[in-house]
């Protein structure tokens, strides 16, 4: 269950959690006309808190709205400021942050017309998305029977609410068959991403991830690639097949929610040693040091605040 906090930022006003409501004829509820972000705040050792890559997330929200032709009355900088304001109002040192911009009520039909566009920011405490044990032991995944959409079917570079029906179908299928997550292929049969995460494989010391084609360009994905290269690893953006995933030495998911989660099994094939491998564990260690503000080299990725 989601743990409620005190306030939700709604169109510039701080409303009590239970008063942040919309009408049942809200356009986005019927047609998926919304864009959103997932962001994390981390408690740091020095007593401050750090929002990881806040500017990049706010920019992606604005860009997603542009792709969907949603007219936002806020800049990326204003969204970032509102995120920090909401965290402070809720006295939340660490947790999950959900900005959402959506088309409200008015005209009913696929065309949104002049319906207003609203923006909310909610925050709440949240631990490991796939479970704390998953960060060490890894998770089981299956190849989904649902393909990731063709790039001209839906706009894959927008983090749009409607796009996630595809992910819901894949995730429900995987869970009902006893797996933790789904691996989705693109319409050409290559590994694309998971229901809400990007995917990496490691083989012979080389780290490989799906290029920026059928995937949402993950901000955590970008961070992990940068850190890995700085550590001396060879990182390639290259298409790969699911049987190449089967014979990888290691595999892992990245995402704001999933952070850096190992994959121990895919389609009943054990990946590597069946748990987090040495490269994955190394990257995990360095990643968590970065997001908690413990590596000054990446200080620019952190937006610090104090309660």
Q: Residue 66 catalytic?
A: no
**By C-alpha distance, which of 128, 102, 121 is closest to 7?**
121
Which residue shows structure tokens 């792709």? 67
By C-alpha distance, which of 224, 215, 77 is closest to 150? 215
Tokens of residue 177, six digits:
């068959």
- Which one, of 125, 127, 198, lies nearest residue 167 by Cα? 198
| Nearest of 101, 84, 110 to residue 30 by alpha carbon | 110
What's the gap between Cα 245 and its chain centre? 21
Please name the residues in contact with 185: beta carbons below 8 A apart, sequence gap of 6 or more.
143, 144, 147, 148, 191, 192, 242
> CB atoms < 10 A from the CB of 65, how many?
22
What sign for the dihedral angle of Cα 278, 280, 281, 286?
positive
The residue from 77, 142, 159, 281 that is catalytic is 159
Active-site positions read: 159
């Amino acid at each position: 269950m989601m743990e409620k906090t005190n306030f939700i930022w709604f169109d510039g006003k701080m409303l009590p959690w239970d008063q942040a409501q919309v009408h049942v004829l809200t356009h986005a509820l019927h047609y998926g006309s919304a864009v959103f972000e997932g962001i994390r705040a981390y408690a740091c050792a020095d007593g401050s808190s750090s929002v990881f890559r806040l500017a990049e997330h706010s920019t992606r929200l604005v860009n997603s709205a542009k792709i969907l032709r949603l007219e936002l009355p806020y800049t990326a900088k204003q969204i970032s400021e509102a995120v920090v304001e909401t965290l402070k109002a809720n006295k939340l040192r660490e947790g999950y942050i959900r900005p959402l911009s959506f088309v409200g009520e008015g005209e009913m039909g696929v065309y949104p017309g002049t319906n207003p566009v609203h923006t909310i920011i909610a925050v709440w405490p949240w631990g490991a998305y796939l479970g704390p044990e998953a960060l060490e032991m890894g998770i089981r995944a299956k190849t989904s029977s649902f393909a990731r959409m063709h790039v001209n079917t839906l706009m894959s570079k927008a983090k749009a609410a409607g796009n996630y029906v595809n992910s819901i179908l894949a995730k429900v299928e995987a869970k009902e068959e006893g797996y933790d997550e789904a691996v989705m292929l693109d319409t050409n049969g290559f590994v694309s991403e998971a229901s809400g995460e990007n995917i990496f494989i490691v083989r012979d010391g080389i780290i490989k991830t799906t290029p920026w084609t059928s995937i949402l360009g993950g901000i955590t994905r970008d961070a992990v690639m940068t850190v890995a290269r700085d550590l001396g690893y060879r990182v390639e953006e290259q298409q790969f097949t699911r049987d190449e995933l089967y014979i990888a030495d290691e595999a892992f998911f990245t995402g704001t929610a999933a952070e850096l989660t190992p994959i121990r099994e895919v389609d009943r094939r054990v990946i590597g040693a069946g748990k987090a491998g040495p490269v994955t564990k190394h990257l995990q260690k360095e990643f968590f040091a970065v997001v908690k503000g413990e590596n000054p080299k990446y200080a620019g990725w952190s937006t610090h605040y104090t309660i």
